[in-house]
Chain A
Amino acid sequence: MIPVCHLADLPVGESVRIDTAPPVAVFNADGQLYAIDDTCTHQDASLADGWLEGCLVECPLHAASFDLRTGAPTCLPARRAVRTHPVTVEDGMIYVHHLAEEGTAA
């Protein structure tokens, strides 16, 4: 369980990247929180820098779009899904339950 930030510090429409290995992006999409792997599966852009619209985030480099609920790409050039991670809020603090890659301590 990794603390992200206070809920108050992540307003609707905003995102934050946490430097886990691999990094994770947390989004506040219309009040609903989502966490996905931060690195676009197409090349190497950070999705936390992307354009958030509803439940979709558009990659800032070549405009692949991902569904935050499933991690699945909704258009090219990305073809593989990003992993999604559970998010919870406790005492106003956002936590990500990071599915660390085997062998990495997170």
Chain B
Amino acid sequence: MKSVAVIGASLAGLYAARALRAQGFDGRLVIVGDERHRPYDRPPLSKDFLTGASGQEQLALADAEEIAELDAEWLLGTRATGLDTAAGAVLLDGGRSLSADGVVLATGAAPRRLPGEVPTGTHTLRTLDDAQALRADLAGGARRVVVIGAGFIGAEVASSCAALGHEVTVVEAAPLPLVPQLGEEMARICATLHADHKVTLLTGTGVSRLHGAGADGRVTAVELSDGRLLGADVVVVGIGVRPHTAWLEGSGLPLDDGVVCDAGGVTPLPHVVAVGDVARAAGSRAEHWTSATEQAAVAVRNLLAGSTVATHRSLPYFWSDQYGVRIQFAGRRAPGDTPRLVEGSPDDRSFLACYERDGRTTAVLALNRPRPFMRLRRELARATRPATA
């Protein structure tokens, strides 16, 4: 393999590029990214970066020295618009194209948006530019902030806005947020964190539209589906993400809520692999930092080998920081698995719980208990690793 194009210059793309070099690929490496920034880390965007506790320098995923060592051609501010598999070429905006023997798809995901036009002062949070715009909007003194969606990102944004002294309301369509991730009992405990910090959580109601006024059409209120009006100066929409696959339509690659690939990240074309949030690997798609980094090394190995010689099956893991509480979760929880409190107490917002099914542990959850969490996470990883690995 003489040339590889990595499409998407963020976490998974950078880790793929690193893995290519680490695994001995010394050919031409081109990294295409539609953002103008070099790879940076997204998790702090809703946490320390939003509160101002950390700055842009701390977001960088690679320093100048490492960028130089990678010896890659960077096409930043450049969008891939198509994949011509017959010609072995990636089409780029502006009518250019790029030929490559191998392609790594790492285009991640984009936030879902509210339908229709939205007034100014309405934000989504995925990119550094998004975070800077939101920060600027929050800088002018105390505001009424409405966060739509109480998932992890919505909750983190609410927590950061509350820490900055804003008056925050979170609106969630489901009767209780985070149930699909944590199950009802643990989700209920996590939902109490909002009230601890005087953030109002309104559940079981959707948003019918946003109101704007004035010459700049700035948001003034959020209208709920039950007719209630919430006054708002800033609105953040955190209602999930959609994998960035639109540009691959017509390429012949199977797309189904992500790029369909096997457990090794390999698509039906052995010279095209998918990694990170955009990859639907062996039937499931993760939206977590750790899987994006882990998948890259495996997919690149398969790409260089020309077939699936390795698969990625580590234990899913994610963390979230809200209201000074560090939430960590690892494992594969299925609906109906019963959580059992192992130590600590929900009242102290510090505990460890194991999810169990038929006497087996399927997942672990911790609030502010990193040490025992880590022990259990390792045990669980060992217990669930396939015997062949």
Contact = CB atoms under 8 A, between A and B. Distances in A.
Q: Specify whether A and B are partners.
A: yes
Contacts of A50: 371, 374
A49 B352 CA distance: 14
Interface string B285-299: 000011001000000
The interface size bin for chain B is: 10 to 19
Contacts, number: 32
B289 A62 contact: yes
B63 A79 contact: yes
A50 B377 CA distance: 12
B292 to A, nearest CB: 11
Contacts of B18: 76
B323 interface: no
A23 interface: no
B370 A61 contact: yes
Contact of A49 (B48, B63, B66, B371): B371
A51 B376 CA distance: 11
Nearest to B53: A44
Q: Taking chain A's interface residues, is the majority helix, strand, or loop, or is none over half, making it mixed?
A: loop
Contacts of A44: 48
Contacts of A76: 18, 293
B10 to A, nearest CB: 14
A61 B378 contact: no
A55 interface: no
A88 interface: no
A63 B294 CA distance: 11
Interface string B18-52: 10000000000000000000000000100010000
B332 to A, nearest CB: 19
B370 A45 contact: yes
A72 to B, nearest CB: 15
Interface string B172-207: 000000000000000000000000000000000000
A51 B319 contact: no
Secondary structure class of chain B's binding surface, majority of residues: helix
B373 A60 contact: yes
Interface in B361-385: 370-371, 373-375, 378
A45 B43 CA distance: 14
B378 A51 contact: yes
Contact of B374 (A43, A51, A77): A51
B319 A61 contact: yes
A48 to B, nearest CB: 8
A101 B261 CA distance: 50
A46 interface: yes
Interface in A31-69: 43-46, 49-51, 58, 60-63
B290 A49 contact: no
Contacts of B48: 43-44
Nearest to A51: B374
Nearest to B289: A62
Contacts of B319: 61
A53 to B, nearest CB: 10
Interface of B: 18, 44, 48, 61, 63, 66, 289-290, 293, 319, 326, 328, 370-371, 373-375, 378
Interface of A: 43-46, 49-51, 58, 60-63, 76-77, 79
